[in-house]
Chain A
Amino acid sequence: MENAAYIGLSRQMTLRRELDIVANNVANADTTGFKVEQLMVGTEVGQRARNDNIRPSASFVLDKGVGRDFGQGSMKQTGRSLDFAIEGEGAFFAVQSGAGQAYTRDGGFTTNAEGVLTTKQGLPVLGDGAPITLDPELGPVSVGADGTISQQGQPVGRLNAVRFDALGALQKSGDGLYRNTSNAQPVDAPDVQIRQGMLEGSNVNTLQEITNLIEISRAYERVTKMIENANDLSRRSVERLGRVS
């Protein structure tokens, strides 16, 4: 039947989606705390047209999910006292958003007029589950590797990182934020280090992404060629069989 064309189409659809994801990776190559994504493509075995054990059944291509590489991004020194980077994989800063807690690797924080540590969008950053308030009178803020915040040598709070057992349950919601879609509660991550005056860049390897681009583009051409050939074949067979001689 027209299996060849449909199989080709299934591959073309996944290739287009792969291109969308590569485009997003490249666009975010300079985004603080961005984690690179990749489409996971698998085989979907089609049903046999009839109960014929000799011919193998046709296999389609199906995208099963998006995989995220939560690997460490490169560290950039900024010299700003409210920039923080997490050194250690799979841990996040917790922030209080309108719809429950959200998690981020983007530690470019600021303070609001009341001295509460917030993200760039003004969402309060949580330290041990509660917002962190800094006292403007006490001057510079210094944060140790374990996240202890001190002003004038006195500890005033803790900026902690949390982690999940199943990172796959995290859903991106834009603005560098992740949301938890499972019932699992995040746990404290004492093994990671908080670096003050630094930001974590994205972990996008642009060379890899450009290679992916070339691959996607060529694969798309090949599949298109295959669909064309299948088309040609059926056209020619119709022509030949239909010839009255």
Chain B
Amino acid sequence: MRALRTATSGMLAQQLNVEVISNNIANMNTVGFKRQRAEFQDLLYQNVERMGSQSSTQGTVVPTGIQIGAGVKAGSVYRITEQGSPTRSGNPYDIAIDGKGYFQITMPSGEIAYTRAGNFAVNGEGQLVTEDGYAVEPAITIPQDAIDVTISKSGQVQVTTQGQTAPQTVGQLELATFFNEAGLEAIGDNLLLETAASGAATIGAPNEPGYGHLLQGYTEASNVDAVSEITNLIVAQRAYEMNSKVITTADEMLSVSAQVKS
């Protein structure tokens, strides 16, 4: 019976849906996390009777035909790149992006990764690095005798050193934007990689047209909305139940047939 397999595909799809939702809920407090959503598409159809085929020698045609679908499949799971709310942290190396753009991070392999998680720190050499110690690109080094660090909206990093009144500029932060942000590949640790689908990164300074501005002392919270995730979870669970109901019905029908006396 086809219905059994069709309903199984429905249950598998809802399982994937629950997995995506649970990942969203698990990352509710992850800095810079963007929630994901699973989209579904219908599977292939079998033509039992093709529409438009002749139904008589007089040339009459079948107007609708019979097509039976084979179920559902996951079309895509994509990130929704809505702005997360900036959360005050007070740490001078926490930088949130308000608007479009990603920070560039040099990975140990030399590759460039992109992130919205601006909870940076300085390493032993005074270089601005991520939580994992990967350097922020372009490299910014804070002198050891710096008393105060200021990062402007447009990404200028200025430090005030001991015995000096005028702040001096030590670097300029840059942002990368992509035409198709949803095409970036997540590799964990809040990092994303450029792909053929995302297109090449366009680099620019913060606060320029098309780029977001920076907020020092803030981190960007995840854009996961607990209420809508729980609602989605309920919907997914009910859909799962309904598919299992179809399996039960198909099973009952088969058993009724099997019990016919010969």
Contact of A20 among B6, B37, B178, B202 (CB under 8 A): B6
Cβ A24 vs Cβ B68 within 8 A: yes
Say whether A32 faces chain B, with CB atoms less than 8 Å apart: yes
Task: Decide yes or no: A23 and B10 within 8 Å by CB, A28-B69, A31-B40, A182-B52 being known contacts.
Answer: yes
Cβ B252 vs Cβ A217 within 8 A: yes
Q: What 5 additional pairs, Cβ within 8 angstroms, besides A30-B40, A210-B242?
A: A23-B4, A26-B239, A28-B10, A174-B42, A174-B45
Q: How far is the CA of A217 from the CA of B67 in the complex (A)?
A: 21
Cβ A112 vs Cβ B180 within 8 A: yes
Say whether A46 faces chain B, with CB atoms less than 8 Å apart: no
Say whether A108 faces chain B, with CB atoms less than 8 Å apart: yes
Q: Which residues of B contact A156 (CB under 8 A)?
A: none
Please list the residues of chain B having a beta carbon within 8 angstroms of any beta carbon in chain A: 1-4, 6-7, 9-10, 13-14, 17, 37, 39-45, 47-52, 62-72, 75-76, 78, 80-82, 100, 178-180, 182-183, 196-200, 202, 209-210, 235-236, 238-239, 242-243, 245-246, 249-250, 252-253, 256-257, 259-261
CB distance from B55 to the nearest CB of A (A): 10
Cβ B66 vs Cβ A34 within 8 A: no
Task: Decide yes or no: A63 and B80 within 8 Å by CB, A30-B14, A136-B202, A174-B42 being known contacts.
Answer: no
Provide the main secondary structure of the chain B interface.
Answer: mixed
Counted as pairs of residues, one from A and one from B, with CB atoms less than 8 Å apart, the total is 218
Chain A, residue nearest B79 (CB) = A80
CB distance from B185 to the nearest CB of A (A): 13
Cβ B63 vs Cβ A172 within 8 A: no
Q: Which residues of B contact A111 (CB under 8 A)?
A: 179-180, 199
User: Can you offer 25 A-B residue contacts whose CB atoms are under 8 A?
Assistant: A16-B253, A17-B48, A19-B1, A19-B3, A23-B71, A27-B72, A30-B40, A31-B41, A31-B72, A37-B67, A112-B180, A113-B198, A114-B199, A120-B76, A136-B199, A136-B202, A168-B51, A169-B63, A171-B47, A173-B44, A182-B52, A206-B238, A221-B256, A231-B260, A231-B261
Q: Number of A residues contacting the other chain (C-beta, 8 Å)?
A: 68
